[in-house]
Amino acid sequence: FELERSLRRAIAQEELSLVFQPLVELPAQRVVGAEVLLRWHSAEHGDVSPVRFIPLAEDSGLIVPIGAWVLHQACRQGRLWLDQGLPLETLAVNLSPVQFMHHDVVALVREALAHSGFPAHALELEITEGALVQQVARATDTLKALCDMGVRVSVDDFGTGYSSLAYLRRFALHKLKIDRSFMQGVPVERAESGLVQGILDLGHKLGMCVLAEGVEQQAQLDWLVAAGCDQIQGYLISRPLPAQDYVEWWTARL
């Protein structure tokens, strides 16, 4: 409750910030962009993990203004990087299921793109499986509208939800992001490696891009290259970085 009161003031107090984790294309390890992740440094509570405050924001409705702030801020940052000549192809922003199901996400995205001048084709929205299957008709309309705008949508934490696979065919989805929990057994565990290979094949058969999250070891990267994985992200490449550090890290690799 105390935490919720602080969170309510976090935007106005400028306690929220964004960090950026590089997305890398295989096999060349070319940087294509970043996933945007939210950070909160509270005056009263210090650094609070999104694992704690995102659920709180969802329960209290604060996710609506916070989610809007993240999207606007991310698009503004992306526009600045494009203006600096950085070859940004993908800026991936997480959307809460609460936002996706109960609010006009299409209007929000249109506004953020218009205000910032960030191109729709460089924006990717990450949603979890659960958000897609609760209100199928509504989700279909939302995804269709986003797709018509040129915005891509990816499935975050793929493989951990309770949904059927049927939705993959029904919806216009660009990318599967294999949850990082699957990566722990790669390449040593046969069963887990088999699961990852299966998801790669499934995604590719459906014409989707497949990204592996949570890549921490060179042996995992080598295995993923051989398995035909399209993109990776994880501590092996880089931790999520503040904007300035991200640009320096990226520039050094160009």
For residue 237 the two structure tokens come to 């490449």
> Whose structure tokens read 């939705």?
167
Q: CA-CA distance, 238 to 29, in Å (whole number)?
A: 12
CB of 183 to Na ion, least distance (A): 10
Q: Cα separations (Å) of 194 from 198, 201, 206, 253?
A: 6, 10, 18, 32
Q: How far is the CB of 199 from ligand G (least distance, A)?
A: 15
What contacts 4, CB < 8 A, 6 or more positions away? 56, 60, 62
- Residue 245 binding ligand G, by CB under 6 A: no
Site string for Na ion, 155-194 (x = CB under 5 A): -xx-------------------------------------
Alpha helices in the chain (DSSP H): 2-10, 50-60, 63-83, 97-102, 105-116, 129-133, 136-149, 167-170, 190-205, 218-227, 243-253
User: In 3-state terms, what secondary structure has residue 208?
Assistant: coil
- CB 34 to Na ion: min, Å: 14
Shortest approach of Mn ion to residue 131 CB, angstroms? 12
Kindly give, in sequence order, each residue whose CB lies less than 8 Å from that of residue 115, ignoring residues fewer than 6 positions away. Answer: 72, 75, 76
Site string for ligand G, 86-115 (x = CB under 6 A): --------x-x-------------------
Site string for Mn ion, 60-99 (x = CB under 5 A): ----------------------------------x-----
Q: What does the per-residue mask of binding to ligand G show for 128-167, with x meaning CB under 6 A?
A: ----------------------------xx----------
Residue 54 interacts with, from ligand G, Mn ion, Na ion, none (CB under 5-8 Å by kind): ligand G
Among the listed ranges 54-62, 106-114, 161-169, 212-220, the one in contact with Na ion (CB under 5 A) is 212-220
| 254 closest CA partner among 96, 29, 45 | 29
What is the contact surface with ligand G in residues (CB under 6 A)? 21, 37-38, 49-51, 54, 70, 94, 96, 156-157, 180, 213-216, 233-235, 240
What is the contact surface with Na ion in residues (CB under 5 A)? 156-157, 213
